[in-house]
Structures are given as C-alpha cells and as structure tokens.
Structure 1
Amino acid sequence: MLRVNVVGAGKVAQTLMLLFQKSDRIRVQSVYSRSPESADGAVGLAGVGQAVTRLSDMEPADLWLLTVPDDQITAAAEALVDSGAEPSVVIHCSGFFSSQALAPLAQAGWQVASCHPVLSFADPQTARDQFTGTYCAVEGDAAAVALISDLIVQVGGQPFPVSADKKALYHAAAVFSNNFAVVLQAIAAEAWSEAGVPDVVAAALGDKLLTGAAANVARLGPVAALTGPAARGDQDVLTRQGAEVSAWHPEAGEVYRAMSHLAGRLKASGKTLPDDD
C-alpha cells in the first residue's frame, strides 16, 4: 500500500485524490492547505484522507504531493523541511518549474521529481473522468521518477520523460499547441465578424476548420497538413492580405506576417527553425 500525503488542496490535488480513491493500492493520508476549508473540501469531495491544520501534524508517507501554485513550490518545500517531516519522495505538478524548485527538500535528503499531467483541471470530477490516457511529463531523481511513473500508470496515465533544463520550453510548447490556438480562433471570429459573416456561420466555420486541421495534423503531420497561401508560395496574396489585416488590427497583422513567414519555411524545409547556416 502506497501511503500518500497531499500539500495544497486545489483542483489538481482534488483530481489526483479522486483518482487515488479508486485504487486499493494507494492510501491518501494527511491533506494540508493554508486554508483549512480547502483541505476539508478536498477530503469531502474525494472521500479519502484526513485534513490537518499544520504540516507538523502530517503522518510519515511514501510519497508527498506538493500541489501548490507554481510561485509557492519552493516556499512549501522550505516549510516542509522546517516541519521536521521524515525524508521521503516528494513531487510537484508544475509544467513550468523543474524538480530543482524542490531543492530545499533535496538538500535535506528527500528524493525529488516533477510530474505534469497534460490535462485541463478546470473541474476535478471531469478531469478524473478524462484522465485515462493522459500524458504526464516526469523528471527528477531516478527513485522519485520511478515511483511517480508507476503511480501514474496505476491510475491510467502515460508518463514520459522531459529534460529538466528545458522544462520552460516544454511548457511553452503546450501554450503554443493549446492556449495560442484559442487566441487564433478568437482573431478569426473577430475577422469574420468584421467581414460581415453572421456569428452562427462564423462559429460553424471555426469549428469545421479547426477540427479538420487537428485531424489532418494527427494523421499527416504538420508539413503535409499545411495549406493556404504561404504553403502555395503566393506572395502577392500574402502581401495584400497582410496589409488588409494590419489596417483592421495592427497586432493581428504582426501575427499574420510572422505566421506566414514560419508557414512558408515549414513547407519549404519541414521545420519552423531556421537552418543553422
């Protein structure tokens, strides 16, 4: 039986606790949050664990989860050291920070790692239901990585390695793939509106094009999936269209020119990065 303690009782913690509740090989023990109400709420939602009001009240455990906001990870690590807790394995779930954010614990003899599930945690119960097959980026000390990887597999996830010194770039890739795609859809919707396209039609167009693009990228890869004037090398259209976009929305015009340039390079060389020479 793997004994797990949880520090931080937000949506990530709640999701993991809901997942652990289904396993007879995992036992959630102490749950701590700076807000006692949050700890109580997480325990009540998941039906596992015992809320405590002080770090020093937490039981010894095989695994500690520091599911606190990114800017609180190192402070939480320092507080855990100060609490006198027995050294064990500890992980955080930040997509941006590496396991080095847990340096105070590593220096105190703990095995440290990070584990970032690539999933939206907007609603813990929905996230639990969607977790099967979720990819989880892991890095850190070998023993800690092995333990958290086994745990992720137990609850249906798929761990994969990421370089600790490139963690910020890894997270930026997720921003490009997800968050910026949403921003581009908003620009497209606003442009269609400016062009007189009815809102209901614009929504349908955005859905059809985005769904089709995602399917083509998944099936063919980015190079083969790319279409449009940049892929065709139609410079006259790119120049005139870029000017039209800039006149309407200067910032979107900058995005249009940059994306067109990268799209042309992708089609020509198979990558967006410039050649080394």
Structure 2
Amino acid sequence: MKERVTFIGAGNVAWNLSHALHESGYRIGGISSRKKSSAKKLAAKFKCAFTTDPTHITQNTDIIFITTPDSAINEIVNALCAEKSLNKNQLIVHTSGLLSAKSMNCVKKWGAIPLSMHPAFSFSSPLFKKNEFKGVYFVLEGSSRAVEKGKTIVRNLGAKSIVIAGEMKPLYHLALVFASNLFVGIEDMAVNLLSQCGIEEKDARNLIKPLVEVTEKNILEKGTLKALTGPVEREDIETLKKHLSTLTKYKYAYKKVYTELSKHLVTMVEKKGEVDKKALWLMRKMLSD
C-alpha cells in the first residue's frame, strides 16, 4: 500500500493529480479548500475527510500536496508551521512553477521535507483521463532527499522527471508561459484577424487547425530552426512591408507583437546561415522603425 496523501487546494490541478495518484495506488486521506463546497465535492470522489482548515487534516498523512495559487502558498505553509500540524519525514509538495522549495523552509523545523514538483502540463478542466500523466514531465527542485522522493511519485504516475536548481524556477516558468499561455494569445490574435475578414470564429479555428498542428509537429520532430517558414525565413521584404501597413490600418495594437516576434525570427534565420546579410539588415531596420 502506497502512502496516504492530503491535498490543500481543490482546483483543476488537485482534481487531476489526486485521481492520478489514487489510480496509482496512493490513498487520498483528506481535502482542504477555502470553499467548503469545493473540498466536499472532491473528497466525495475518495470518501475522505474535507475541511476549510488544512491544519485539521495534515498530521495523519505521509504526503501533503499544496495545489493552490502561488499567492496562497506562503500563508498556508506558515499556518501549518504555526499550528504544529506537521510531522517528521512528511513530504510537503507545492506544485508552483515559479516558486522554489525554499518558500516552504519553515517545515524543516518539524522535520518535514519540502519539495517543488511542477507538472509541465495544462489543466483547463477538472475532468481526469486515465493515464493522463503518462509521458508528462514534472520538474523537481529541492534537497537530494526530497528529489528522490519526488522521482518515485513521478515514476508511479507513469510520468518523467527533470531536476533544476531553485534559482532557475522563474526562468523555467517563463519558458512554459511562452510555450503555452502566450501561444494561446497569438492564436487568439490570428482568430481575431480572420474575423475581420468576415470569417466566423468556429470556421477561423478550423482554418488554422492544420497549420497549427503541422507547425507543432515540425517543431517537435525537427526543432525550431528547421520548422521556421514564412516571409522572414524567405527574406521577403515586400511581404513584411505589406504586413506592417495592414496592421497599421486594421489592428495597430498587434503591430508591436508582430515586430518584436519578427525581430526574433530574423535572429533565427541568421543562425541558419547562408543568408543575404543585406536582406537581414533591411528587415531589422524595417521592424525597428
């Protein structure tokens, strides 16, 4: 029988992770949430205790997962430490992509072990799918003892792990924001531009779907440099001029995004070699004016 697990936080991450751990043999012993209804709803899935005060359910457990927003983690950890609600050798895990395990250092006073364990995954829904974490990467950070315990949990989930230094957490999280959140923003801009062409939103999403899918496939299989296509890669000065004038006319707010990203694409093209240096200079000048 695997360890007993308690969750503080009952949002999408808690729903998916608790079900995955339960499926892997862990015992879900309690759920805490600021909203009693949220804690009760998730706890009902495992017939376990629920509360709005995490200090009531954290002593008789082996692993505590804190799956709240980052802004609440410090308050929760301080409350657990102040109320003497922790035991020696308990693993205290937060799933923040930004914060390091040091944000929970006070738990060491009680002999507990802090660990940062962030899934590089997007949870837009509480609906859990069987084997959802198979192949997903969890980024671990903490002491060697904490990391080894984290690796065991990750393996049991059928997932993979990577270890990074605590001071690298902000940079790591920023990378994921570029890969996911900002990507969604870019696609929303594309849909908005298509809507200005008179295309319905649903049709716009269907229109860009094959392009998005093949681009993603090429990035994952070939790398970003070989996946790059389009006017910057072709050093097509006239098309860039037309794009900039069109954005000025129809969607000026997007122009800054277009120019800054295109500048980066110019740098990528330069890395590929065998380029027209004059064309690169002209593109950079045009995008900076």
Fold shared, TM-score > 0.5 on shorter chain = yes
Distance 1:194 1:28, change over 3 A: closer
Distance 1:66 1:201, change over 3 A: closer
Deviation at 1:133, TM superposition (A): 1.6
Q: Which runs of 5+ in 2 are unaligned?
A: 274-289
3-state SS in 2 of match to 1:74: helix
Deviation at 1:180, TM superposition (A): 1.6
After superposition, give the CA deviation of every residue in 1:120-157 in whole Å (9 maximum; x if it has no partner). 22323335552222111111122111112211210222
- Do 1:113 and 1:145's aligned partners in 2 also have CA atoms closer than 8 Å? yes
The answer for the alignment partner of 1:14 in structure 2 is 15
Deviation at 1:12, TM superposition (A): 1.6
- Do 1:18 and 1:125's aligned partners in 2 also have CA atoms closer than 8 Å? no
The percentage of counterpart residues that share the same residue type is 26
- Do 2:19 and 2:128's aligned partners in 1 also have CA atoms closer than 8 Å? no
Residue identity opposite 1:35 in structure 2: K
Deviation at 1:23, TM superposition (A): 3.0
Deviation at 1:257, TM superposition (A): 1.1
Taking the aligned partners of 1:73 and 1:41, their CA distance within structure 2 comes to 22
Once the two structures are overlaid, the 10-residue window that deviates more, 95-104 or 27-36, is: 27-36
Q: Which runs of 5+ in 1 are unaligned?
A: 272-277
**Aligned residues: CA RMSD:** 2.3
Aligned residues: 269
The answer for the alignment partner of 2:63 in structure 1 is 63
The within-5 A match list for 1:1-277 is 1-24=2-25, 26-45=26-45, 47-52=46-51, 54=53, 55-84=55-84, 85-87=86-88, 88-126=90-128, 129-197=131-199, 202-269=204-271
Distance 1:53 1:181, change over 3 A: closer
- Do 1:120 and 1:127's aligned partners in 2 also have CA atoms closer than 8 Å? no
3-state SS in 2 of match to 1:126: coil
After superposition, give the CA deviation of every residue in 1:64-119 in whole Å (9 maximum; x if it has no partner). 11122210101100011112122322110011212122122235442211111122
- TM-score with structure 2 setting the length: 0.84
The answer for the alignment partner of 1:274 in structure 2 is none
Once the two structures are overlaid, the 10-residue window that deviates more, 217-226 or 82-91, is: 82-91
Taking the aligned partners of 2:142 and 2:200, their CA distance within structure 1 comes to 51
Distance 1:227 1:91, change over 3 A: same
- Do 1:65 and 1:92's aligned partners in 2 also have CA atoms closer than 8 Å? yes
Taking the aligned partners of 1:254 and 1:76, their CA distance within structure 2 comes to 40
- Do 2:87 and 2:111's aligned partners in 1 also have CA atoms closer than 8 Å? no
- Do 1:74 and 1:104's aligned partners in 2 also have CA atoms closer than 8 Å? no
- Do 2:6 and 2:57's aligned partners in 1 also have CA atoms closer than 8 Å? no
Taking the aligned partners of 1:254 and 1:50, their CA distance within structure 2 comes to 51
Taking the aligned partners of 1:211 and 1:30, their CA distance within structure 2 comes to 40
Distance 1:2 1:200, change over 3 A: closer
- Do 2:131 and 2:158's aligned partners in 1 also have CA atoms closer than 8 Å? no
Taking the aligned partners of 2:256 and 2:57, their CA distance within structure 1 comes to 55
Deviation at 1:222, TM superposition (A): 0.6
Once the two structures are overlaid, the 10-residue window that deviates more, 127-136 or 79-88, is: 127-136
- Do 2:30 and 2:43's aligned partners in 1 also have CA atoms closer than 8 Å? no
Taking the aligned partners of 1:89 and 1:201, their CA distance within structure 2 comes to 48
